[in-house]
Amino acid sequence: MDAVHQVIMETPLSREKHRSIVQDSKIRRPPRNFGSPYILMGGFAFLIAIGTVLLSLPFTNTQNEITPFLDALFTATSAVTVTGLVVVDTSTHWSFAGQFIIVVLIFTGGLGIMASATFLLVLIGRRITLANRLMVRESLGVYQLGGLIGLARRIVIVIVSIQVIGFIVLFIGLMDKYPINDVWWLSLFHSISGFNNAGFVIFPESVSLSVFKTDYIILLTMSFLILLGTLSYSVMLDVFGYRRKFNRYTLDSKMVVTATVGLLVIGFVVFLISEYSNPDTLGSLSFAGKIVNTVFIAVSGRTAGFSTVDFGSMEQHSNFFLTSLMFIGGASASTAGGIKVNTFAVLIAAVLSSIAGRSHVVAFGREIPHPQVYRAMTVLILGLAIVFSVALLLTITENLMFIDILFETVSAFCTVGLSTGITDKLSDPGKFIIVFTMFIGRVGPLTIALLLAQKEATSPYRYAEERIKIG
């Protein structure tokens, strides 16, 4: 009885002590500053604001007049989010200064705010805090915490090196087509735009890359740059480090490579069969031209937004299939948009595991943690919800065909930049909606993933289990 009486008497005191500890922990909890995922949204928004102001100035356009605010905002957002949708012609409207600002925005936005910020902090000699390192780790898609500064430095070096190589090859390929004084800028601009999957083009006589339908060197070079841009640094490290030793890849690299190759092959077959005889797309080309252009469409159409054919003249089923590929996008921690190939691969693995009757998701002999499966499902559902909502709004503000609106919406959300030709036909409210969609498409999935990653913790309790009917 004495022991029981002692417990009863001490319980209120212990509760009060526990309450004070909890309160103290709440008070002493460090504020979320640079380490918060919301800094990504703020960083992209700030970069867009700077770009909008600069592109509004008279010296950035060929007319030497102030560019309307909405056009400058649209272009800056498209460049920072590496989308490529435009409401004014990039080659004729913008001066060299304007094009230079656009390519800087593309490079910074493609590299990523966190990687860019980290690299700048290293250059000026600032100390990188633990919160900074955690954010860099998540945004770059790597798992180690140590050596992140060196890793960020190596990523910048590799990315710049790839674009320099692309610049050299494009320079050689364009020497006999343009004046030598223009070739260096054309090569540099399109090398950066290609690797970052931006889709911006400054060839004055061409709609996108249509003038290069029969120039296989240019098309294959751009395809190579685009493809590398859709892969993360870690995947490129595995691919080029281990080469044919597929079994030594990380699970993430295995799933990205497998899904990417599968989507490219399926896209190639579908587009070749669907558009083979279409006189407005592939029908007028030779057999070799059809093969090379179909490869380019399968690579670029999924993530980059460059085109050699008029997508508005494609068969409707081709456009719908391309819409699906755009929604998937490229790999996480890459320059590509969409819900990401990683997300798609995890969902496919979950479906196959469920069909096989497994209680856990398994791929390549490894089990994928349930929190990551839930994260993939969350990104998918939210992505579909955003696309549905934006398409619904555009059907209200615009008098256009629904298939074109859906194509434009997915292209903006997944930062692809392809269009059936309706971008410059949008009303001012429609342009604002597309601007918002590009911004959300660039920062939304990453922010959602980072927020969910922060909340990945084991709950101290679980609720009672109860089954529901499925199917």
Q: How many domains does the chain have?
A: 1
Angle between the N-to-C axes of helices 69-80 and 38-56, in degrees from 0 to 180, rounded to the nearest 10 = 130
Q: Which amino acid is located at 155 in the chain?
A: I
pLDDT over 70 percentage in the chain: 79
Please indicate, yes or no, if residue 208 is contained in any of the structural domains: yes
Tell me how far apart the alpha carbons of residues 354 and 18 are, in angstroms, rounded to a whole number: 44
Please indicate, yes or no, if residue 246 is contained in any of the structural domains: yes
Please indicate, yes or no, if residue 358 is contained in any of the structural domains: yes
pLDDT at 281 over 80: yes
pLDDT digits (tens, 9 = 90+) for 20-57: 444 444 434 444 444 456 667 777 888 999 999 999 99
Reference 173, options 190, 159, 196; nearest CA is: 190
Using H for helix, E for strand and C for coil, what is the string for 90-122?
HHHHECHHHHHHHHHHHHHHHHCHHHHHHHHHH
pLDDT over 90 percentage in the chain: 49
Q: Which amino acid is located at 401 in the chain?
A: M
Work out the burial of residue 469: count CB atoms within 10 Å of its CB; fewer than 13 is exposed, 13-18 middle, 19 or more buried: exposed
Please indicate, yes or no, if residue 173 is contained in any of the structural domains: yes
Q: Rounded to two decimals, what is the model's pTM?
A: 0.84
Tell me how far apart the alpha carbons of residues 302 and 321 are, in angstroms, rounded to a whole number: 10
Tell me how far apart the alpha carbons of residues 303 and 334 are, in angstroms, rounded to a whole number: 11
The pLDDT score that the predictor gives to residue 445 is 66
Please indicate, yes or no, if residue 459 is contained in any of the structural domains: no
pLDDT at 394 over 60: yes
Could you give the count of Cα atoms lying within 13 Å of 424 in the half-sphere of its Cβ?
6
Please indicate, yes or no, if residue 22 is contained in any of the structural domains: no
The count of residues in the chain is: 471
Which residues constitute the domain of residue 42? 32-452
The DSSP annotation for 342-360 comes to HHHHHHHHHHHHHHTT-SS
Residue 424 token pair: 């410059």
Asked if residues 430 and 391 have their Cβ atoms less than 8 Å apart, the reply is no
pLDDT digits (tens, 9 = 90+) for 99-128: 999 999 998 888 765 565 555 555 545 555
Provide Rg for the chain, Cα atoms.
Answer: 25
Could you give the count of Cα atoms lying within 13 Å of 435 in the half-sphere of its Cβ?
23
CA dihedral angle for residue 230, residue 232, residue 236, residue 242, rounded to 10 degrees: -130
pLDDT digits (tens, 9 = 90+) for 164-205: 999 999 999 999 888 888 999 999 999 999 999 998 999 876
Please indicate, yes or no, if residue 457 is contained in any of the structural domains: no
Please indicate, yes or no, if residue 193 is contained in any of the structural domains: yes
Asked if residues 142 and 155 have their Cβ atoms less than 8 Å apart, the reply is no
Coil, strand or helix at 231 = coil
Asked if residues 453 and 134 have their Cβ atoms less than 8 Å apart, the reply is no
